[in-house]
Structure 1
Amino acid sequence: MSETDTTAKPAIAMPLGLFVYLMLYGGMTVLAGVLAYKQVQLVPTDLAVESGIFAFLILVVISSTVSQLYGQKYATRIVWLGFVPLLIASVLMQLVLALPPSVEMVNGRAEDLAAFEQVHNTVWRVWAAGPAAYIVSLLLNIWIFSRLRGSGEGTTIGLMIRGAIASALSQAVDSVIFITLAFYGLFPIMDLLIGQVIAKVVLSIVLVPFLITGGVKLAQWLDSKNIEAS
């Protein structure tokens, strides 16, 4: 056997910040669908918001951060790669629902079993609506964020403004698509739809700019540590 046959190929270099965000991104795509089953009231109004918004905003921050530091191409790629954990999670969920429960659970924890099956058997519309809203809104977020950047790097204030505008517009679109596909016909959706749009737009303006700025600094710090260790 020749030397070249026994020599391991060098690993493909990846910035540590990009690697960490890629891992976090995959987890958030799955968690957003699970959390979406519960609607949270926006006190003191009667408006509501589905809880998946919190994980989804993290997806927006990550995609914008990756676009800022590593380019629109990489940001778009992780959006498409986000379908992988979504697909695996949905397949595993159907497998678990199809498998027979243990005797101990049937005899001693029947209420827990019924609650688990009720939630996850009725969440299929959420799992179906999620990818549709996910792909449209996140690709739109990346596109708007990148277009507003222009040809220059810009300032921190510019980064925050771009992040707020891109997030607000894309999340409004996401709300209309997701709420309509997931819940239309199950209950009156107008309060939820209005609450979702308002909450996402407000959070996009108030919170997302600071999260993106922090996300960029964190990724830069991780990348610097990666360089020092190499």
Structure 2
Amino acid sequence: MILYLNGIFVGLLILANIVAVKLFSIGNFAILPAAVIIYIFTYPLIDVIVEVYGKKEARRTVQAGLIMQILALIFITIAIHLPAAPVFQEQSSFETILNGSFRVIIASLISYAVSQNLDVFVFNKLKSAHGQKKLWLRNNASTMLSQLIDTSIFITIAFYGTMPIAVLGSLILTQYIFKFFAAILTTPLVYLLVHLIRRKESLERVHPFQKEV
């Protein structure tokens, strides 16, 4: 199961980076990048990995995600700069969608590396204190803290100096409120995945030679 979790995690990261250019609004409350509705699911996945497989495996997953984001950036840059064929009339649109600013990309990578590793650290500390009890507490506490750090680092690095401090603070607050409630809503997903994985691995231990049909 760890391979599936790793694949989904990395896939969500790459997909989030691709759709990040799209902005959507929630009434008059906030304007958010489309990436946020994908990226919020990476935290419960990491929490599930820490819960079931441990801190070491989760850190490997985070590292794999960082490496794949860098590789994706390299190959997307190469694709953008390949000479367009005469029949390809959408080069400018292609560049607009895939060619994020260097500053935003750096902000994304730094905020990812810091916040995801923090999530692993906090979750593991709480698990050491509570064992398998209070999964909801370590899931929400680690995710909410990590999302606050992620949002603050990203917006500060990406936009500091381009807008007033008050506007930066407003962006951080509105995005974090969305992520805060999203963390609560994804808690049942963490319980479901942990239950299914432990059940599957328990059955495999009982019937180690049983083949899947």
**TM-score normalised per structure 1:** 0.80
Q: Which has the higher contact order (CA 8 A, sep 6+)?
A: 1
Which of 163, 167, 179 lines up with 2:143 in the alignment? 167
Q: Contact (CA 8 Å) 2:50, 2:124: kept in 1 or not?
A: yes
Is it true that 1:136 corresponds to 2:114 in the alignment? Answer: yes
Name the larger-Rg structure. Answer: 1
Which of 7, 11, 14 lines up with 1:30 in the alignment? 14
Is it true that 1:182 corresponds to 2:165 in the alignment? Answer: no
Which of 189, 196, 199 lines up with 1:218 in the alignment? 196
Note the aligned Cα RMSD (angstroms).
Answer: 2.2
Which of 59, 62, 71 lines up with 1:88 in the alignment? 71
Is it true that 1:56 corresponds to 2:34 in the alignment? Answer: no
Q: Contact (CA 8 Å) 1:39, 1:51: kept in 2 or not?
A: yes
- State the percentage of identical aligned residues: 24
Is it true that 1:202 corresponds to 2:181 in the alignment? Answer: yes
How big is the shift at 1:93?
Answer: 0.8
Structure 1 unmatched ranges of 5 or more:
1-16
Q: Residues 97-126 of structure 1: CA distance to partner in whole angstroms, max 9, x if unpaired?
A: 110111111xxx3xx321221233334333
Give the residue type in structure 2 aligned to 1:99.
L
Q: Residues 137-165 of structure 1: CA distance to partner in whole angstroms, max 9, x if unpaired?
A: 1111111111112255333xx10121011
Residue equivalent to 2:91: 113
State the distance in 2 between where 1:123 and 1:218 align.
Answer: 41
Structure 2 unmatched ranges of 5 or more:
none
Give the residue type in structure 2 aligned to 1:65.
V
Residue equivalent to 1:229: 211
Gap change, CA 1:222 and 1:19, over 3 Å in 2: farther
